[in-house]
Amino acid sequence: MTTLTTTSRPGQRVSDPRPPKPKGGLPGVKKAAIMGGAYLIALIFITPYLEMFLTALRPVKEGADPTIIPKHFEWSNFTSVFSGTSSFGTNMRITLEVAFGATLLVLLVALPAAYYTARKKFRGRKAFLILVLVTQMFQPTAMVIGIYGEMRDLGLINSVWALIMVDAGFNLAFAVWILSAYFAAIPVELEQAAMIDGATRFGAFRRVTIPLAMPGIVTALIFTFIAAWNEFIVALTLTTSPDKAPLSVAVDNYIGQYTVDYGHLFASTVIATIPVIILFGLIERKVVDGLTAGSIK
């Protein structure tokens, strides 16, 4: 019997005959189970949207059929909502004006309010923040009668400005609260360094603080935009003409006392959700960063 002895010279690397250990990670079965569960949850959330889209393509004569997929596809439902005496295009324009107007108004008011609250240690600061948070608990439904009376006295019934002010007012508290936390987390020394280099306080705020707080700003604005886009109770109360109402109220007009026009109802709903989906898809990364920032030190 011959024994083979392996010797190595000084400085020479000897290869390890043992097989390399597998890299760290989830086992195949466990990983597949987690992915399968994630896809199942995603399917559960997507199913209502698929049903909404399929119902939008269902002809009127197949409205009572128990089938999930219609036998015939009525693509004209997506175009007929804009034709005839329908004011759907005007309603969409009003909704865009209200959503963008409320978002801009919240931005103009919340930024200076949150910045001052974060930087100045004035008396009653905590009470002010608590009061801001308490106002978030009020619902438009509980105050709709008072809101209607106030807007009637101001002559703003059937006015876009009334919807903009109300939607901005109910979303301002959330924006001030989240932006105040963001500004407080930004070191004040960065602004002082910019002012030493010759920038004014507003210049330091615009060039240093706002870019660093952009995830929080985007988070506040997207929530304000979606809330103003979907608002229904106040819009239904403050608008009495079909051509002055936003999309949320116009969609409800397809529900009659005895019949429901499901084809146009779901077609208009699909159209109404497309701008929000596109907007959220474009800035989804900023929203996620804004919601998770500060959770890990």
DSSP character string of 108-144: HHHHHHHHHHHH---TTHHHHHHHHHHHTT--HHHHH
Mean pLDDT across 186-215? 86
What is the rounded CA–CA span in Å between residue 151 and residue 14? 85
What is the rounded CA–CA span in Å between residue 138 and residue 135? 6
What is the rounded CA–CA span in Å between residue 26 and residue 24? 7
Residues 230-263 have pLDDT tens digits of 889 999 999 988 888 898 888 888 887 777 777 8
pLDDT at 287 over 80: no
The top-scoring range by mean pLDDT among 23-32, 66-75, 205-214 is: 205-214
Note if the pTM is more than 0.85: no
Residue percentage of the chain with pLDDT more than 70: 84
What is the rounded CA–CA span in Å between residue 106 and residue 31? 44
Main-chain phi, psi angles of 260, to 5 degrees = -130, 125
Architecture of domain 85-292: Orthogonal Bundle (1.10)
Mean pLDDT across 80-109? 87
pLDDT value for 297:
40
DSSP assignment, residue 243? G
Name the one residue in this structure whose structure tokens are 């603080």: 209
Residues 47-90 have pLDDT tens digits of 888 888 888 888 777 666 667 777 778 888 888 888 766 788 88
pLDDT at 2 over 80: no
What is the residue extent of each domain of the chain?
Answer: 32-75, 85-292
- Of the chain, the end-to-end C-alpha distance in Å amounts to 63
pLDDT value for 296:
44
pLDDT at 283 over 50: yes
Q: Which of 231, 126, 218, 233 is nearest to 175 (CA)?
A: 218
Tell me the two tokens of residue 245.
């109402």
pLDDT at 3 over 80: no
What is the rounded CA–CA span in Å between residue 259 and residue 243? 22
What is the rounded CA–CA span in Å between residue 153 and residue 150? 5
Residues 117-172 have pLDDT tens digits of 888 877 777 787 777 777 777 777 788 888 899 899 988 899 999 999 999 988 88
Q: Which of 251, 213, 216 is nearest to 232 (CA)?
A: 251
C-alpha neighbours within 13 Å on the C-beta side of residue 69: 0
The amino acid at residue 89 is G
Q: Where are the beta strands (DSSP E) in 52-128?
A: none
pLDDT at 291 over 70: no
pLDDT value for 208:
86
What dihedral do alpha carbons 146, 149, 155, 161 form, nearest 10°?
20
What is the rounded CA–CA span in Å between residue 262 and residue 287? 34
Question: Is the model more confident about 284 or about 79?
Answer: 79
pLDDT value for 161:
92
